[in-house]
A and B are shown apart, each in its own frame.
Chain A
Amino acid sequence: MKSVEEIKTAIEAAIPGAGVEFVSNPSPSAQHSLRLAPESAIAVATFLRDDAELAFDFLSNVTGVDWPDKEVAEKVKVTRTVTKSVDGPEGPVEQQVEETVEETHKRVEPGCLEVVYHLYSVAKKHGTLVLRMRTVNRSDQTELPSLTGVWRSAEFQEREVFDLYGVVFSGHPDLRRLLMWDGFKDHPMRKDYVEPDDFEYEPTPHDEVLKRAQERKSEGLGTRD
Chain B
Amino acid sequence: MSYSSLAAWILSWEKWTDSCWQLNLEDALLGDGILKGMAETARNFFGSYVSKERLTTVEYPEQRIPTAENARVFPFLVYDGANWEAGMRCVACQICEKECPPKCIYIEKSADKKPDYVGKQQFYPTRFDIDVSVCMSCQICVEVCPFEAIKMDTQFELATDDRFGGLLFDRKELSRSNEYYHSIHPTEASEVDARLAEEKAKVEAKAKAAAEAAAAKAAAAANPAPPAGGGS
Contacts and interface: CB of A to CB of B under 8 A. Distances in A.
CB–CB under 8 A between A and B in the complex? yes
Interface of A: 201, 203-207, 209, 224
9 contacts: A203-B129, A203-B131, A203-B168, A204-B105, A204-B106, A206-B103, A206-B106, A209-B103, A224-B164
Nearest to B167: A203
A105 B129 CA distance: 48
A206 B131 CA distance: 13
A201 B106 CA distance: 15
Nearest to B107: A204
Chain B interface residue bracket vs A: 10 to 19
A206 B94 CA distance: 12
From A204, A206, A207, name the one whose CB has the most chain B CB atoms within 10 angstroms: A204
A209 B134 CA distance: 15
B229 interface: no
B165 A224 contact: yes
Interface in B93-145: 97, 103-106, 129-131, 134
A207 B98 CA distance: 11
Interface of B: 97, 103-106, 129-131, 134, 164-165, 168
Contacts of B105: 204
Nearest to B106: A204
A170 B145 CA distance: 52
A224 B127 CA distance: 14
A224 B106 CA distance: 13
B82 to A, nearest CB: 29
Contacts of B168: 203-204, 224
A201 B163 CA distance: 10
Closest 9 CB pairs of A and B: A204-B106, A206-B103, A204-B131, A203-B168, A203-B131, A204-B104, A201-B164, A204-B129, A204-B103
Contacts of B131: 203-204
Nearest to A201: B164
Nearest to A207: B103
Given A204-B105, A204-B131, 13 more contacts: A203-B106, A203-B129, A203-B131, A204-B103, A204-B104, A204-B106, A204-B130, A204-B168, A206-B103, A207-B103, A209-B103, A224-B164, A224-B165
A204 B107 CA distance: 9
A205 B105 CA distance: 9
